[in-house]
């Protein structure tokens, strides 16, 4: 029962973040909150996507639904956020129009920067306006979010088009030699001793992102690189669109689905022949691959799942080929070397060495686990007369026999565990937990204009400010959260968090507040039972909420450094460490409630079994994660002509210790969304493993876990369980999630590890 980066979890989609606004036509605060007046310095009439003609779409006072505060404490209706919430009611035409307008405003600003004379280039005339320029393009990028969540095809199509327009313009921004020359002149004229660390880092980032986009090349080479990069960006958008809008299904007879829980099957579409349709959405596919007794059923489900986005096969092939050309144009040995320059790992050799070392340590453990699963398979084949090779652990066998192993050795049945995790209870308790842990408070925004009726919008405050009355004056506001948790067609298919708008410091010293959205596909209710979560899904939700609060609690001067804009292979650190609470007795009990017997919590015996299951078959699980990373690294470093599908299947079998049908190769790489993103997955995997190590255990010589030492008595987890167990106050929250943009990810890791280790949620 674990969360895998390559399967159930998707990283946040990276958007360019909004920086501090100082010289652009109007601040984002004014754009979203027109009650704030700010002096402008240009005459361009800039319009924000969530306003019409620079007036609020819904200018009435914000109404908060106090009955939906997760603190369950009634609050005064006079509490008004200092910034109005986004209104999600755009038309397809508005999406394109506003995107193009934002880009034109940005282009005008860059023209002004480029016209700066070298002796007048400084922080105020060049650097801050460039930071402001992030705002103009990112405002439009907010509109691209519709492609992941809107039920309307026209809106999704417009958002995809807007995304491509923005990606193309981003290349223009980073390839303007005249702006680059102004930036170099400003760097030469600026005394770094007069700048704070975050401002120094801003200059470094502005320079790096331009040199990485080929500004050191001659004009012809630069133009070729831009053409390659633009094509790559567009293909990556198409790749993800195909995944989002995939609507495949497989029809099975009831006999073929023998073993799948009845409450799951009751939610399947049924035809006039009595057949049942399994979609490839997680709530449908996962139970079939885990419970279907008939091997052929699992095989069909697995092959279908891997092939659900087969349309992406030629797209990925072209992306890999174009990335090779782009790396060559930049003078890099390969695309991986280019991508890793700005990661913590830095070099391809570091990543390969890390993955190789992990594989060597973990494989002996995984081989033992494989033998245990094969023993169960051999017994079942003999007892049930199944038509399958008992000596092979097929890729479609792993999750089935992993479940049986857990049930037999720990007497732990996932279906029984689900009965104690109704979605309605778990979501509320997890949000209550974060409220208590981080000293924050949620209030639902009533009558919010959102992309779907099932989505919700929340205003998030510092709880101390609410308690002592400062919130009445607008103090202590943290930002807005959106939740979209139920599965539906044409929606992003996994769980992820979008940092839609970052926070940053405005010219007058006040703050603009962030906006975040969590998208998930938790579970579907049926006529027999409400929506129930597996423990895996509980962990996933808790993990993703960690990303949400990294976004909401972050406090930086410039928006481009806000929240999760840390090194890509560090971004998982806070969430990985926070999700450890889902394996503690106190939190498991707190999150549980039997869906029928409302006063019944998880029994202690069942809690202990859940905790004991954490490292069951972890060797096989982690080898699969290593496979994802090694595949990514290989295709981005190889100079050979590759059959991507064959290499996917053969590498998966070799590294993950599973078998497949060589006559039926399935293109699993066509749904591997990470591989077309802005980061190398192997580097991310390294960060994922490091963060698991930092947050919970170390890897022993035999590849097994070495448990973390108990934190000492005192701050957080006192031996007597008394008054020293208290939630983080605002100052302590600042030390963990409001990390300065000037700090390195490695130093932040140490801070986060120490602080997380000493907090006990049983006290909150």
Quick one: 37 and 183 in the same domain?
A: yes
Helix (H) / strand (E) containing 498? strand 496-501
Domain C-terminal end among 196, 211, 242: 242
- Residue 22: the pLDDT is 35
Alpha-carbon span 626 to 362, nearest angstrom = 10
Q: Is there a contact between 554 and 739 (Cβ–Cβ < 8 Å)?
A: yes
Q: Is there a contact between 254 and 274 (Cβ–Cβ < 8 Å)?
A: yes
More confident of the two residues 757 and 684: 684
112 has a pLDDT exceeding 60:
yes
Whether 13 is covered by a domain: the verdict is no
The closest alpha carbon to 669, from 650, 684, 649, belongs to 649
Domain C-terminal end among 242, 263, 282: 242
- Residue 733: the pLDDT is 57
Quick one: 387 and 271 in the same domain?
A: no
Q: Using one digit for the tens of pLDDT, what is the confidence trace for 195-234?
A: 999 999 999 999 999 989 888 888 889 889 999 999 999 9
Least confident range of 109-113, 441-445, 720-724: 720-724
Quick one: 396 and 440 in the same domain?
A: no
Whether 301 is covered by a domain: the verdict is no
Alpha-carbon span 131 to 143, nearest angstrom = 20
Domain C-terminal end among 198, 219, 242: 242
- Residue 580: the pLDDT is 87
Catalytic, 544? Answer yes
CATH of the domain at 61: 1.20.1050.40
How big is the chain by its Cα radius of gyration, in Å? Answer: 26
Quick one: 596 and 499 in the same domain?
A: yes
Whether 377 is covered by a domain: the verdict is yes
Quick one: 193 and 264 in the same domain?
A: no
- Residue 217: the pLDDT is 87
Alpha-carbon span 259 to 292, nearest angstrom = 5
Q: Using one digit for the tens of pLDDT, what is the confidence trace for 522-541?
A: 988 888 899 999 999 999 99
**Domains in the chain: how many in total?**
4
Quick one: 270 and 345 in the same domain?
A: no
Whether 12 is covered by a domain: the verdict is no
Whether 202 is covered by a domain: the verdict is yes
Q: Is there a contact between 306 and 666 (Cβ–Cβ < 8 Å)?
A: yes
Quick one: 434 and 406 in the same domain?
A: no
Helix (H) / strand (E) containing 158? helix 153-174
The closest alpha carbon to 514, from 483, 546, 469, 550, belongs to 550
Phi, psi (degrees; rounded to nearest 5) at 97: -60, -45
Quick one: 384 and 454 in the same domain?
A: no
Give the residue-averaged pLDDT of 17-34: 33
Cα angle: 529, vertex 535, 537; to 5 degrees = 80
Q: Which of 544, 572, 579, 691 is catalytic?
A: 544
406 has a pLDDT exceeding 90:
yes
Q: Using one digit for the tens of pLDDT, what is the confidence trace for 156-202?
A: 999 999 999 998 999 899 889 999 999 999 999 999 999 999 999 99
The torsion of the CA quartet 657, 663, 664, 668, rounded to 10 degrees, works out to 50
Quick one: 194 and 262 in the same domain?
A: no
CATH of the domain at 726: 3.40.390.10
Q: Is there a contact between 692 and 576 (Cβ–Cβ < 8 Å)?
A: yes
730 has a pLDDT exceeding 60:
no
Quick one: 444 and 407 in the same domain?
A: no
Quick one: 397 and 480 in the same domain?
A: no
745 has a pLDDT exceeding 70:
no
The closest alpha carbon to 494, from 521, 526, 458, 470, belongs to 521
Alpha-carbon span 691 to 570, nearest angstrom = 8
- Residue 10: the pLDDT is 33
Whether 88 is covered by a domain: the verdict is yes
Whether 84 is covered by a domain: the verdict is yes
Quick one: 235 and 252 in the same domain?
A: no
Q: Using one digit for the tens of pLDDT, what is the confidence trace for 636-680?
A: 999 999 999 999 999 999 999 999 999 999 999 999 988 987 555
Q: Is there a contact between 698 and 706 (Cβ–Cβ < 8 Å)?
A: yes
In a 10 Å sphere around its CB, with 0-12 CB exposed, 13-18 middle and 19+ buried, how is residue 560 labelled? buried
- Residue 119: the pLDDT is 97
521 has a pLDDT exceeding 60:
yes
Q: Which residues contact 624 (CB under 8 A, 6 or more apart)?
A: 4, 6, 652, 655, 656
Q: Using one digit for the tens of pLDDT, what is the confidence trace for 291-349?
A: 999 999 999 999 999 999 999 999 999 999 999 999 999 999 999 999 998 887 789 99
DSSP string, 557-575: SSGGGSTT-S-TTTTTHHH
Whether 304 is covered by a domain: the verdict is no
Mean pLDDT, rounded, of the chain: 82
Strands of the sheet containing 440-445, edge to edge, are 64-65, 440-445, 456-462, 477-484, 515-519, 496-501
The range of the structural domain enclosing residue 380 comes to 310-419+631-676
């Amino acid at each position: 029962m674990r969360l895998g980066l390559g399967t159930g979890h998707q990283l946040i989609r990276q958007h360019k973040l909004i920086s501090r606004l100082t010289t652009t036509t109007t601040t984002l605060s004014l754009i979203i909150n027109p009650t704030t007046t700010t002096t402008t310095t240009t005459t361009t009439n800039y319009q924000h996507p969530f306003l019409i003609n620079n007036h609020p779409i819904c200018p009435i006072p914000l109404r908060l639904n106090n009955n939906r505060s997760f603190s369950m404490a009634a609050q005064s209706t006079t509490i008004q956020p200092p910034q109005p919430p986004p209104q999600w009611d755009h038309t397809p035409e508005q999406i394109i129009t506003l995107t193009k307008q934002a880009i034109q405003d940005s282009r005008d600003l860059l023209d002004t920067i480029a016209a700066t004379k070298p002796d007048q280039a400084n922080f105020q005339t060049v650097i801050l306006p460039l930071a402001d320029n992030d705002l103009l393009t990112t405002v439009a990028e907010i509109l691209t979010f519709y492609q992941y969540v809107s039920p309307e095809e026209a809106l999704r199509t417009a958002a995809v088009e807007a995304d491509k327009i923005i990606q193309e313009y981003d290349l223009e921004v980073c390839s303007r030699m005249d702006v680059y020359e102004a930036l170099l002149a400003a760097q030469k004229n600026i005394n770094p001793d007069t700048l704070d660390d975050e401002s120094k880092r801003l200059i470094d980032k502005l320079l790096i992102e331009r040199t990485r986009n080929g500004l050191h090349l001659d004009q012809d080479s630069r133009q070729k690189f831009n053409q390659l990069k633009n094509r790559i960006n567009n293909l990556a958008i198409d790749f993800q669109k195909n995944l989002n809008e995939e609507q495949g299904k497989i029809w099975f007879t009831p006999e073929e689905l023998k073993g799948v829980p009845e409450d799951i099957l009751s939610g399947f579409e049924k035809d006039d022949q009595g057949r049942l349709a399994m979609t490839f959405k997680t709530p449908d596919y996962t139970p079939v691959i885990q419970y279907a007794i008939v091997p052929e059923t699992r095989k069909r489900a697995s092959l279908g799942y891997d092939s659900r986005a087969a349309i992406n096969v030629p797209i990925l092939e072209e992306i890999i080929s174009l990335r090779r050309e782009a790396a060559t144009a930049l003078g890099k040995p390969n695309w991986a070397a280019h991508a890793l320059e700005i990661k913590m790992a830095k070099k391809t050799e570091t990543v390969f060495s890390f993955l190789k070392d992990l594989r060597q340590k973990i494989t002996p453990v995984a081989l033992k686990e494989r033998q245990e699963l094969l023993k169960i398979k051999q017994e079942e084949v003999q007892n049930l007369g199944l038509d399958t090779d008992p000596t092979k652990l097929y890729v479609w066998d792993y999750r089935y026999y992993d479940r049986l192993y857990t049930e037999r050795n720990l007497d732990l049945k996932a279906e029984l565990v689900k009965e104690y995790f109704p979605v309605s209870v778990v979501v509320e308790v997890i949000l209550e937990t974060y409220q208590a842990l981080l000293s924050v408070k949620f209030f639902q925004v009533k009558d919010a204009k959102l992309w779907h009726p099932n989505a919700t919008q929340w205003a998030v405050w510092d709880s101390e400010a609410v308690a002592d009355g400062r919130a009445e004056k607008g103090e202590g506001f943290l930002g807005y959260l959106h939740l979209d948790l139920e599965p539906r067609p044409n929606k992003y298919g996994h769980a992820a968090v979008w940092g839609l708008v970052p926070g940053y410091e405005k010219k007058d010293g006040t703050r603009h507040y962030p906006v975040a959205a969590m998208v998930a596909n938790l579970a579907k209710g049926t006529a027999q039972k409400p929506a129930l979560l597996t423990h895996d899904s509980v962990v996933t939700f808790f993990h993703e909420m960690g990303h949400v609060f990294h976004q909401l609690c972050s406090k930086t001067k410039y928006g481009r450094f806000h929240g999760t804009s840390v090194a890509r292979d560090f971004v998982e650190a806070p969430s990985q460490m926070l999700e450890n609470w889902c394996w503690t007795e106190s939190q498991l009990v707190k999150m549980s409630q039997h869906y029928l017997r409302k006063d019944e919590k998880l029994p202690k015996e069942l809690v202990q079994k859940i905790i004991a299951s954490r490292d069951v078959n972890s060797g096989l699980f982690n080898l699969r994660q290593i496979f994802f990373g090694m595949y990514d690294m290989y295709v981005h470093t190889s100079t050979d002509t590759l059959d991507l599908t064959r290499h996917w299947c053969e590498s998966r079998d070799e590294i993950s210790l599973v078998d497949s049908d060589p006559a039926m190769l399935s293109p699993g790489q066509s749904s591997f969304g990470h591989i077309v993103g802005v980061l190398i997955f192997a580097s991310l995997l390294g960060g994922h493993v490091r963060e698991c190590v930092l947050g919970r255990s170390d890897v022993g010589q035999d590849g097994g876990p070495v448990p973390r030492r108990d934190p000492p008595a005192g701050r957080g987890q006192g031996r007597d369980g008394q008054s020293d167990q208290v939630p983080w106050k605002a100052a302590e929250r600042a030390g963990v999630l409001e990390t300065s943009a000037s700090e390195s990810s490695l130093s932040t890791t140490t801070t986060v590890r120490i602080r997380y280790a000493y907090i006990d949620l049983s006290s909150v």
